[in-house]
């Protein structure tokens, strides 16, 4: 099986997968305690007692949708900062659930402009919330969350963060970025298994959001109330995935916490950027904007068939992602999960070999096509 250099699902530790090898009764005390411990550990990572953690069944988007639907009241309006597809996904969610929204968009290789944000907020008093993606996994760009938060709070508005691909590694302490709510999932920097997401919200803001959600299953307030009432999930929980995430948090602690994890990811990124550059793959982002989560690369000059490259890499046991940029062909290499700088070095070697094989394949194709044209090949 390949090593996943993809930002979710990603490569996990054997201990984490082993923790899922057990059946739990969801209404039994053991599981209630497990859920309770997990919720407390998530709050501890976020760093403030004003917060509560509300797990949600499903992938990360379920948490983002529950956050927007519950925290933005039907009478509210959310300004969504967009510089990639996850920002656009929040726009699509608001359109579907009928929340009033506005969009402040910039290019995929630029970060949101805080002066423009400030102007928009002062011009539109109906805006109650600002929603932003901390690391846009489309490109890997790091949005300046602390600076954006400052602007939002100075204007007296509330902040909602999609911290899906950053929570557990980069997310600043709640003292620095006092958001109303933040959405993330088990299967990115926390290196758990996929299928469990969560929102971390300020208790007072969540209490005030009673009856706000347009969805039953994604009502964050009701989900929270169920946990508070008897420690149980409203609907069938992904029991094994909950247990695996608890184990993944042990491994995060053993590694030295979020700082140590970020450092490992940073080393992964720098190995892959440098190695790919030497092979002729230019990075889409300058180094200072590239969060240590995922790197986006341009195809090398000349002919390049991503499908063939992907296939060759897979044969060498590495899985990477196609690009997600709207304007340019690209592909992405994830730096998160149970992968280490030595894996990244192996990946760069595999990429060199895959590139050679693609070029050989192309030469053969060219030779074949021209031979066929000249009538030297009979089918």
Ligand X SMILES: *Cc1c(COP(=O)(O)O)cnc(C)c1O
Which 3 state secondary structure label does DSSP give 108? coil
Which 175-234 residues touch ligand X, going by CB under 6 A? 185
Q: How far is the CB of 336 from ligand X (least distance, A)?
A: 10
129-133/158-162 β-pairing: parallel
- Binding window for ligand X (CB under 6 A); candidates: 27-35, 157-165, 246-254, 265-273: 157-165
Of 330, 20, 48, 23, nearest to 187 by C-alpha is 20
Instruction: Provide the pairing of β-strand 51-57 with 196-202.
Output: antiparallel
- Apex CA 34: angle with CA 28 and CA 39, to 5°? 130
Site string for ligand X, 94-113 (x = CB under 6 A): --------------------
Size of the site for ligand X (CB under 6 A): 13
Task: State the minimum distance, in angstroms, from the CB of residue 142 to ligand X.
Answer: 11
- With residue 306 as reference, give the H or E element that holds it: helix 306-315
Shortest approach of ligand X to residue 205 CB, angstroms?
A: 21
Nearer to ligand X, 289 or 352 (CB): 289
**C-alpha to C-alpha distance for 258 and 275, rounded to whole angstroms:** 26
Q: Considering only residues 326 through 365, tell me which ones interact with ligand X, judged by CB under 6 A.
A: none
Nearer to ligand X, 64 or 205 (CB): 64
| 296 belongs to the binding site for ligand X (CB under 6 A) | no
**Which residues ranging from 158 to 177 are in contact with ligand X (CB under 6 A)?**
162, 164-165
Q: Which is nearer to ligand X, 79 or 354 (CB)?
A: 79
Q: Which of 45, 51, 86, 242 binds ligand X (CB under 6 A)?
A: 86
Distances (CA, A) of 46 to 42, 53, 177, 232, 261: 6, 9, 10, 22, 15
Provide the CB-side half-sphere exposure for 107 (13 A, CA). Answer: 6
30 exposure class (CB count in 10 Å sphere: 0-12, 13-18, 19+): exposed
Length of the chain: 379
Residue 165 or 296 having the CB closest to ligand X: 165
Q: Give the closest residue to 61 by CA, choosing from 167, 191, 164.
A: 164
Q: Please say which residue, 8 or 238, places its beta carbon nearer to ligand X.
A: 8
Q: Could you tell me the smallest distance in angstroms from the CB atom of residue 200 to ligand X?
A: 15
Which residue, 32 or 80, is less far from ligand X as judged by CB? 80
Closer residue to ligand X (CB): 85 or 225: 85
To the nearest whole angstrom, how small is the minimum distance from the Cβ of residue 135 to ligand X?
A: 6
- Out of 137, 143, 171, 330, point to the residue binding ligand X (CB under 6 A): 137
Q: In this chain, which of 4, 8, 180, 181 binds ligand X, going by CB under 6 A?
A: 8
Min dist CB 187 to ligand X, Å, is 7
Residue 214 Cβ vs ligand X, minimum distance, rounded to whole Å: 19
Site residues for ligand X, window 51-80 (CB under 6 A)?
59-61, 64
Residue nearest to ligand X according to CB distances in the complex:
60
Decide: 298 and 328 in contact? Cβ < 8 Å: yes
- Using the minimum distance from each CB to ligand X, give the nearer residue, 16 or 355: 16
Alpha helices in 110-175 (DSSP H): 114-123, 145-154
Rounded CA separation 57/235 (Å) = 9
SS3 of residue 113 by DSSP: coil
CA–CA distance, 107 with 129 (Å, rounded to integer): 22
Distance in angstroms (rounded) separating the CA atoms of residues 107 and 116: 14
DSSP reduced 3-state for 199: strand
Least gap, CB of 64 to ligand X (angstroms): 6
Provide the binding-site residues for ligand X, judged by CB under 6 A.
Answer: 7-8, 59-61, 64, 86, 133, 137, 162, 164-165, 185
């Amino acid at each position: 099986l390949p090593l996943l250099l993809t930002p979710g699902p990603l490569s996990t530790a054997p201990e984490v997968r082993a923790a899922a090898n057990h059946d739990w009764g969801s209404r039994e005390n053991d599981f209630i305690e497990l859920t309770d411990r997990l919720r407390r550990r998530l709050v501890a990572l976020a760093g403030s007692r004003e917060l509560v953690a509300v797990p949600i069944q499903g992938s990360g988007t379920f948490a983002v949708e529950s956050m927007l639907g519950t925290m933005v009241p039907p009478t509210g309006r959310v300004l969504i900062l967009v510089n990639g597809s996850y920002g656009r996904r929040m726009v699509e969610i608001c359109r579907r659930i009928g929340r009033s929204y506005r969009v402040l968009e910039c290019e995929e290789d630029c970060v949101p402009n805080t002066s423009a944000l400030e102007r928009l907020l002062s011009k539109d008093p109906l805006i109650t919330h600002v929603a932003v993606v901390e690391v846009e996994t489309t490109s890997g760009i790091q949005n300046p969350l602390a600076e954006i938060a400052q602007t939002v709070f100075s204007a007296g508005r509330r902040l909602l963060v999609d911290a899906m691909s950053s929570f557990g590694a980069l997310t600043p302490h709640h003292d620095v970025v006092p958001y109303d709510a933040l959405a993330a999932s088990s299967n990115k920097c926390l290196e758990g298994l996929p299928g469990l997401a969560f929102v971390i919200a300020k208790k007072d803001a969540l209490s005030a959001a009673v009856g706000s959600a347009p969805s039953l299953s994604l009502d964050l307030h009701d989900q929270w109330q169920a946990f508070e009432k008897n420690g149980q999930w409203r609907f069938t929980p992904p029991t094994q995935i909950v247990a695996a995430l608890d184990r993944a948090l042990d491994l995060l602690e053993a590694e030295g916490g979020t700082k140590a994890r970020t450092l490992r990811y940073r080393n992964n990124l720098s190995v892959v950027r440098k190695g790919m550059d030497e092979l002729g793959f230019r990075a889409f982002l300058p180094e200072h904007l590239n969060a240590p989560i995922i790197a986006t690369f341009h195809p090398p000059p000349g002919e390049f068939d991503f499908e063939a490259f992907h296939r060759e890499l897979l044969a060498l046991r590495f899985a990477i992602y196609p690009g997600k940029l709207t304007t340019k062909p690209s592909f992405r290499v994830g730096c998160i999960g149970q992968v280490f700088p030595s894996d990244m070095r192996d990946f760069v070697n595999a990429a060199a070999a895959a590139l050679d094989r693609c070029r050989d394949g192309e030469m053969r194709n060219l030779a074949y096509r021209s031979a066929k044209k000249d009538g030297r090949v009979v089918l």
